[in-house]
Amino acid sequence: MKRFSSALIVALAAVTSCAVPVFAQSAARSASSEALQLADNAPDSYTVVKGDTLWDISGRFLKSPWRWPEVWKLNTEQIRNPHWIYPGQVVYLDRKNMTLSLTPGNGGTVKLSPQIHSTPALGPIASVPLQNIQQFLVEPLFTESENPADAGTVIGIQENRVMAGTDETIFARNLSVPNQVAWSVFRPGTPIKDPLSNEVLGYEAIYAGQARVRTPERPPVAAALSVGRVKHEVSVGDRLLPAVDASNFAYVPHAAPADIQARIASIYGGLDETGVNGVVTINAGRNQGIEPGHVAALYRVLGNASYRGPDGGQKVQEIPLPDERYGLLFVFRVFSKLSYAYVLESTRPVRVGDKALAP
């Protein structure tokens, strides 16, 4: 993390340069219709400690933590790289101007040379508790087609075995990324459908485990891979995609687009409902402007009330009821038509068909 330069510090809400990411601008626009409100008993300052998340810190000062872009005073480099808050730094609240700023603190950096990035004593804080979604960042989870063209295929197992476990050798072909060493092994699973149109949005993958290339593929000769950690034994016909590096996950919470009209498409694990810390999919993705870090509000659709009037007459009136807001989602993985999200807050069970709207 670079040292702060006071000449570069600006009020984020006033920044309109193209160097500022779209999410910062769109979040400010989507929330600007409502006045910012401080959290009850908001402190004048707060010292960041290990284990804090950006959500925790923003929530100490704001009633709406996802509106952080409107109040944080950051330079463009810090905005571009969300790894900008470390344990030991002090966050200050300017109540008059409704802004937050921070100091390097004892979690600061040591500049080694102009060409080398400095290394902090403690790692940067995360947006949300990463341990709750770590497996969903690493595992492929989802493919957009039942037979993805860019996935390799397991064609054999050492000594002609039917299954392979940890430290055993598998053979594969059509590995799509040259020089890629780490691969995730999976098999296509249950289709996920849009709860409104019944369109198939993709297929939730059954994660088998990890494998590393030992001998690269040299067509027509297949690649040899060593199987690492497994959840299910690897079989001939299983597929492979490049393993995802979750260590760079640092998406800062920001409001979803004002025009988002998404629904809960599925609940991970085939459950009927979930709650706080649960993982769900919504029927909106890149094609609808969704990106990792978006926060959306959960609403239960209450439908209509059948009303016969004050005299209990024969004519029934179907009167629409307002949707009931009951929680918040944090989007962390995005595909073309579908996204995975983590349930941050919920006062009732989350179910398929519930709405996910701008917070």
Q: Which pTM was predicted? A: 0.76
Nearest-angstrom CA–CA distance, 60 and 104 = 19
With bands split at pLDDT 50, 70 and 90, how would you rate the model's confidence at 313?
confident
Residue 164, C-beta contacts closer than 8 angstroms, at least 6 positions apart: 157, 158, 170, 227, 233, 234, 235
- Strand 294-300 with 254-255, pairing: parallel
Largest CA distance in the chain: 83
88 or 350: which leads in pLDDT: 350
Token code pair at residue 349: 């069970």
Q: Confidence class of residue 253 from pLDDT cuts 50, 70 and 90?
A: confident
Give whole-number Cα distances, 214 to 114, 182, 237, in Å. 38, 10, 19
Across the range 217-243, mean pLDDT stands at 95
Average pLDDT over residues 84-93: 83
Complete DSSP assignment for 337-359? S-EEEEEEEESS-EETT-EEE--
pLDDT at 356: 97
220: cis peptide before it, omega within 30°? yes
Alpha carbon separation from 86 to 61, 90, 149 (Å, rounded): 17, 9, 41
Q: How high is the pLDDT of residue 8?
A: 22
For residues 317 and 209, give the distance between their C-alpha atoms in angstroms, rounded to a whole number.
56
DSSP 82: S
Domain locations in the chain?
10-129, 140-243, 256-357
Q: For residue 153, what are the β-bridge partners?
A: 173, 239
Percent of all residues in the chain with a pLDDT value above 70, rounded to a whole number: 79
> How confident is the model over 178-222, as pLDDT tens digits?
899 999 999 988 899 999 999 999 999 899 999 999 999 999 999
pLDDT on residue 248: 62
Do 227 and 164 touch, CB atoms closer than 8 A?
yes
Q: Are 243 and 182 in contact (CB under 8 A)?
A: yes
Give me the architecture of the 256-357 domain, per CATH. Beta Barrel (2.40)
Residue 10: pLDDT band by 50, 70, 90 thresholds?
Answer: very low
Query: For residue 32, what pLDDT is reported?
Result: 44
What pLDDT score does 114 carry? 33
Give the span between the Cα atoms of 346 and 277, in whole angstroms. Answer: 9
| pLDDT at position 138 over 50 | yes
Distance, in Å, from the CA atom of 93 to the CA atom of 119, rounded to the nearest integer, reads 27
Nearest C-alpha neighbor of 183 from the set 146, 219, 230: 230
Specify the residue for token string 């991970």. 268
Mean pLDDT, to the nearest integer, of 112-134? 55
| Cα-based torsion angle of the residue sequence 56, 57, 61, 65 in order, rounded to the nearest 10 degrees | -60
d(CA 132, CA 155): 34
Is the pLDDT at 321 greater than 90, yes or no? yes
The number of residues in the chain equals: 359
Q: Where are the alpha helices (DSSP H) in the chain?
A: 22-31, 54-61, 76-80, 134-138
